[in-house]
Each structure stands twice: as C-alpha cells, then as structure tokens.
Amino acid sequence: MKPIDEMREVLKDPAGYVQKLKAADGRKVVGTFCSYAPEEIILAAGAHPLRLFGSGENIHQAEAHLQSYCCSLVRGALEDALAGRLAFLDGIVFPHTCDSIQRLSDVWRLNVPGTFHIDVILPVKLDTEGSRAYFLDVLNRLRRELGEKLGVTITDERLRSAIGTYNRIRAALMQICDLRGERPEILKGSDFFTLVRAAMVMDRPRVVDLLEGIAAEMKKRSVSMAAAWPKKRIVLSGGICNYPDVYTIVEEAGGDVVGDDLCTGSRYYSGLIDETAEPIAAIADRYLERVACPAKHKGLSERADHLVRLVHQKRAAGVIFFLLKFCDPHAFDYPYLREALEREKIPSMLLEVEDRLPADGQLRTRFEAFIEMI
Ligand code: SF4
Ligand code: SF4
C-alpha cells in the first residue's frame, strides 16, 4: 500500500484505528483539542495523543448541554463523547483557549465519565514579561499530573525523545508544504490535508516514517518535472478546515492552495523545538515564538503581518478565508485581516461554513468567480 493510501485508510475510521493500536500494545489514548495541546508531553508519557474533531454525526444529545451557537467542532466532539463513540479514551487534555473549548471542558468534566480530565490553563497574552514563566509553570504541572494519571515518570530523556519525533514530523510536513508551494502539481491539496490530519491521529513514529518517505519521493520527482503551472496560487486562512473537498473544489475552479494559516495546517506543524535546551522550556518557547492564533494575544498586528508575509512568500494571488460559523475568535479577527490584505491590494473572499460545506456546484461557482477575478 502507498503511504498516502495507508493514511487515507486511517482517516476513514480514526477511532477504529486508535482502538486497534490500543488493543495491540495496551497503550493509553489521550484526546486533545487545538494546536495548543502539548502533544510532546503526552507522547513522552507513553500515551497516544489523538486530536478530536467530531465525527460529523447528527447532533442530538449535545444540544442539551451547549447552545446552538457553539461551533460545530465543539458540538460534534461532545456529541461523540455523549454517544459513547469516544469510550476508548483514557484521558482528555483541554488547553485553555477560546470560550467554546473552555465551556466544553466544564460540560465534559460533568457529563463524560470514565476518563481523566486535565485543563491546561495557558496564558492568553504571550508577549508579557511573565508569560514565559507562567507557561513553564503550566507545562511542568501538566507533566506532573499526566505522569500521576498514567503511572509513569516523565523524564527529560522521554521528553527529548518525544520532541525528536515531533520535530521530524514537523520538518517533513514543512518540507512537503514547501515542495508543493514550488510545484503544486506534485501533490494534490486534498492529499496534503490528508497527511496533516493523519499526523494528528496515527502512531507518531509511523507518521515519521511515512512522511519522510513521501518528502524524499516528492523531492526526487520535483527535480525531473517541467516548470509551468498555470493555476492561481491561493492561501487558505482561518481555523479548523476539516473538509478535504475545499482543496479539490479550489483546484477544479482553477486555483491551488499553496499555503495556509489554519489550525488543521501550518499552525499544527510550524516551528521546530530546540532539542538541546531544557525540554519543557523548549516546548514553551515554540508556542511563544509561533504566530499566535486569534484566541491568544501577541501584539496588535502579528497575525495580519504574518498573513501578508505568507502571501508574498508563497507568491499567492489571493486569500480564501475559511471560517466555521460561530467561531468567535476567527470572526473577530477577519475584518482586520481583510483590511491588512486590502492595504496591500491582495484580494480575498470569505467562506463561512456551519457543519457541512455548501453544495458542490454552488461552492465551485463562488471559487470560480473569485479565481477569475484575481
Ligand atoms: S484557533 Fe486557536 S484556540 Fe482555536 S483551535 Fe485553532 S489554535 Fe486552538
Ligand atoms: S477556535 Fe473557533 S473553531 Fe476552534 S473550538 Fe474555538 S470556536 Fe470552535
């Protein structure tokens, strides 16, 4: 089986895949939300980190606990938990980020029995004098608590090994993204999405092998390919984009996603961790140096500056903002990001989605109109 096919297979049934892992060697599974969950510490504890997105089933039970104006990610994940579809989880780690995730944590603690539950109360402002010390304190506390819950001592050696694994995953994804940026025809956008999503679900050492193999293969192929690529280069910006079809429809409409600023994209894999430094400090520093998401604060214009830089770096012709309905952090950020693009004369369009994409044809027409205009 080709590496990408193995990853596609896993994503057809992530829960089934993880249950098989668990049955094979008895490892514990810890669910996470959001790229601010320090997966390195979970892996160092000998557990398997599983990013939760909601399986997309209809929402029934979650409605009794959450307002209908919570985002579909939060409602979908709670529905899965209440319906028993996540009963295989041994624990859950909630980073303190947007309001919806914070409230989900409270509802989960009271209504989903049988798993340990850890809140990681990270600082909101990431650029103050005290924020690094605060960050370190919170991560050290997570290291202690997780060790106690899982009955292991999370040594520096274990942390360094986990950091090494994540660095290899992130380095491979960054390399694949760069190769795609230069030669988008080498790997479809929806396939790149598959790689990133699978990296959040699969056994991480296996992910290293698969991604490094794919990156090496792409490098070889890119050398022998002719240069022309007629499609319009697009950057995708927003929060969670759990819809591979978006990439396909952009491609069918004459564009190509060559870069992103998404939680299901570069926010997951950007930035390597210093393997020579004290491990907890090094994990904290990656978060502090990474471009913040809108649920955190780090300067007034950091996100806009980053987006404009990204568009120029990727030689993109325009930006598609992809927002989940009721996602306040991204909705509040959108006007100022759009204004920053307008100042640079970079065209953009907004696509807002609730729990499923608009009909195929309707979306293609909107993308075609935008791509024609740019
Ligand atoms: S926008 Fe921020 S808080 Fe929300 S899921 Fe992404 S990284 Fe997490
Ligand atoms: S940041 Fe937005 S999409 Fe992510 S959990 Fe919060 S409200 Fe939902």
**Interval 338-352: pLDDT, tens:** 999 999 999 999 999
Task: Report the residue among 100, 122, 243, 330 best suited for mutation to probe ligand 2: largest number of ligand atoms under 8 A from its CB.
Answer: 100
| Ligand at shortest distance from the CA of 265 | 1
The structure's pTM equals 0.95
How far away, in angstroms, is 103 Cα from ligand 2 center?
Answer: 11
* Atom number, ligand 2, closest to the C-alpha of residue 324: 3
Ligand 1 pocket check for 238: Cβ under 6 Å? no
Ligand 2 pocket check for 71: Cβ under 6 Å? yes
* Atom number, ligand 1, closest to the C-alpha of residue 296: 2
* Atom number, ligand 2, closest to the C-alpha of residue 98: 6
Asked if 235 and 134 touch (Cβ cutoff 8 Å), the reply is no
How far away, in angstroms, is 333 Cα from ligand 2 center?
Answer: 13
Asked if 29 and 89 touch (Cβ cutoff 8 Å), the reply is yes
How far away, in angstroms, is 263 Cα from ligand 1 center?
Answer: 6
Residue located nearest, by CA, to atom 6 of ligand 1: 263
Closest CA relative to residue 73, chosen from 195, 241, 189 = 241
* Atom number, ligand 2, closest to the C-alpha of residue 330: 2
Residues of the chain scoring pLDDT < 50? none
How far away, in angstroms, is 95 Cα from ligand 1 center?
Answer: 9
Ligand 2 pocket check for 249: Cβ under 6 Å? no
pLDDT at 227: 64
pLDDT at 228: 59
pLDDT at 356: 79
* Atom number, ligand 2, closest to the C-alpha of residue 71: 8
How far away, in angstroms, is 260 Cα from ligand 1 center?
Answer: 14
* Atom number, ligand 1, closest to the C-alpha of residue 329: 1
Taking residue 364's Cβ as centre, other Cβ atoms within 10 Å add up to 17
Task: Report the residue among 96, 240, 261 best suited for mutation to probe ligand 2: largest number of ligand atoms under 8 A from its CB.
Answer: 240
Ligand 2 pocket check for 98: Cβ under 6 Å? yes
How far away, in angstroms, is 33 Cα from ligand 2 center?
Answer: 10
